[in-house]
Amino acid sequence: MGFLDKLKDISKPTSSGQQHFQPAPSALPLEQSIKRYRKQRGVNLGSWFTTEDWLATELYKHALEPRGSDYDLARAPNAKALMEHHWDTWITDADWEWIRSRGFNSVRLPIGYYHLAGVCPDVLKGTDYAPYAAVYEGAWPRILNAIETAGRYGLGVLVDLHAAAGAQNTDGHSGMSKGKVNFWDKSNLKSTALALRFLASTLAPNPNVIGLELLNEPKNDNRLQGWYERTLDELRPLTGPDFPIYVSDAWDTNWYSQWAGRRGDFIVVDHHLYRCFTPEDKAIDGRSHAAKLAHEFAPQFLQWCGQAPVVVGEWSAGLDDSCLPPDTPAGERDAQKRAWVAAQMDLYERSAGYWFWTLKTDRPWDAGWSAYNAAQAEILPASMVRRHGQADADAHCGYWGSHGGNPNAHVFSAAFCRGWDDALMFLQSEGQAELGFVGHWSRRRRDEFAQSGQLGDAAWQWDHGFAQGVQALTLQALG
């Protein structure tokens, strides 16, 4: 049975009409999980599957009014051929090669629930997209191909449910142009739950998938945390506790980082950071934003990172044109963006990862939002990889001893050496990234060590020793 046949079997309705999904697979061996646990330095593949009118301007010339979402494209004449041509041409082998050449190690792939029409047709029942299921029948094989292709280039894929049934926010990128949040309607909740169960059960066993994001930028609501918890209760039997599930902070990062930190499973909090939309943001230039980020926002951000794994799933070089005088030379505008990007990257390097928004646009030039243009203008660095020197794989015990360690503290020393060795393994792996999710990786190594019967009640010693070993190796290799 081929992989696509297995997917069809997984999503086959039972006699009761309910969708059948396979139980949790065994966790991937740690050595096959490096893509999931490394520090993520990625780029969004915006407007490939969930599209946006300001990125794919040529495509939206065919949309019906108000020309603001996939829904307006789905209703266009020849929509199926139009969308399939777009999916087949927006990202090419040249794009994948460029992403790898710039040192990115992952991509964030936004999709909508309607892209499952061909493989899980019940997901569209009772939703706005039900009449347009045929338009999206060919989407899922292309999504699978994108994941497979990314893997061949050494890239991990974060699959992001960018558009949920009914729209989880008021923006067009949620799949609708109505400016309304109808996500909480009963039929839309049912559709979204089915979509997520399908995605979780099919993506968790794939080593090229580094995680599943439940919702992109949902409008905050006092029902959201409860929905997260119920959804996780439904998905964890399908994924196991060690598959990374990403949750949007809904612009309340402190609340959700504390909530995620109390959970025992692999939950990652996604924060999006832009400084170009509010009147206050438009009133100051890029260097001022950089200074405010470093001196005012950074302490708060690092506090969140201490509470739970936090990533910045979307960020950019974007600044509003009005933040500088109209006659500002192009070179100075680029310099302002360069300062803003440098400050962001300095901070985000202290988190578990980040994804630039976005890879490309079809407009002639946009160095604020197109990674291609930002790289051409040297606003983004030549490589996202942090260069490191030589690190000695056998130096850990000597290092520990010279810094006051006691070689008789068996659990601590074993954890320190394991942390050192694993940190080195990550740096020497394809992509040359640091171990990013230290706590979750340490926990799995601790469970392995416990099977020897030597851990006892010294779990805290393991956690401290492992973290110190990772930190020591990283300092030696990266300075």
Residues 346 and 410 occupy one common structural domain: no
Residues 86 and 133 occupy one common structural domain: yes
pLDDT score of 466: 95
> What tokens does 93 get?
């082998």
Residues 400 and 296 occupy one common structural domain: no
Residue pLDDT tens, the chain, 479 long: 444 444 445 444 433 345 668 776 678 888 889 999 999 999 999 999 999 999 999 999 999 999 999 999 999 999 999 999 999 999 999 999 999 999 999 999 999 999 999 999 999 999 999 999 999 999 999 999 999 999 999 999 999 999 999 999 999 999 999 999 999 999 999 999 999 999 999 999 999 999 999 999 999 999 999 999 999 999 999 999 999 999 999 999 999 999 999 999 999 999 999 999 999 999 999 999 999 999 999 999 999 999 999 999 999 999 999 999 999 999 999 999 999 999 999 999 999 999 999 999 999 999 999 999 999 999 999 999 987 555 555 555 555 555 555 544 788 889 999 999 999 999 999 888 999 999 999 999 999 999 989 888 888 889 999 999 999 999 989 87
In a domain, 2, yes or no: no
Query: Domain range for residue 419?
Result: 396-478
Burial class (CB in 10 A: 0-12, 13-18, 19+), 9: exposed
pLDDT score of 401: 56
CATH (domain of 184): 3.20.20.80
- Tallying the residues shown for the chain, one arrives at 479
Question: What is the secondary structure of 312-381 as a DSSP string?
Answer: EEEE-S---GGGS-TT--HHHHHHHHHHHHHHHHHHHTTSSEEEES-S--SSS--TTT-HHHHHHTTSS-
In a domain, 451, yes or no: yes
Residues 368 and 451 occupy one common structural domain: no
Residues 351 and 419 occupy one common structural domain: no
Q: Are 262 and 231 in contact (CB under 8 A)?
A: no
CA dihedral angle for residue 58, residue 64, residue 67, residue 69, rounded to 10 degrees: -100
In a domain, 289, yes or no: yes
In a domain, 17, yes or no: no
In a domain, 151, yes or no: yes
Residues 204 and 314 occupy one common structural domain: yes
Distance CA 166, CA 168 (A): 7
The HSE-up count of residue 340 (CA atoms within 13 Å, CB side) is: 27
Residue matched to tokens 């009005």: 322
Residues 216 and 329 occupy one common structural domain: yes
3-state secondary structure of 304: helix
Distance CA 373, CA 337 (A): 12
In a domain, 220, yes or no: yes
Residues 370 and 404 occupy one common structural domain: no
pTM score, two decimals?
A: 0.93
Residues 421 and 357 occupy one common structural domain: no
Q: Into how many domains does the chain fold?
A: 2
Distance CA 315, CA 1 (A): 41
Q: What is the DSSP letter of 460?
A: H
Q: What is the DSSP letter of 26?
A: P
In a domain, 7, yes or no: no
Residues 203 and 88 occupy one common structural domain: yes
Nearest to 304 by CA among 340, 266, 270: 270
pLDDT score of 410: 82
Residues 331 and 372 occupy one common structural domain: yes
Q: Are 34 and 127 in contact (CB under 8 A)?
A: no
Residues 351 and 409 occupy one common structural domain: no
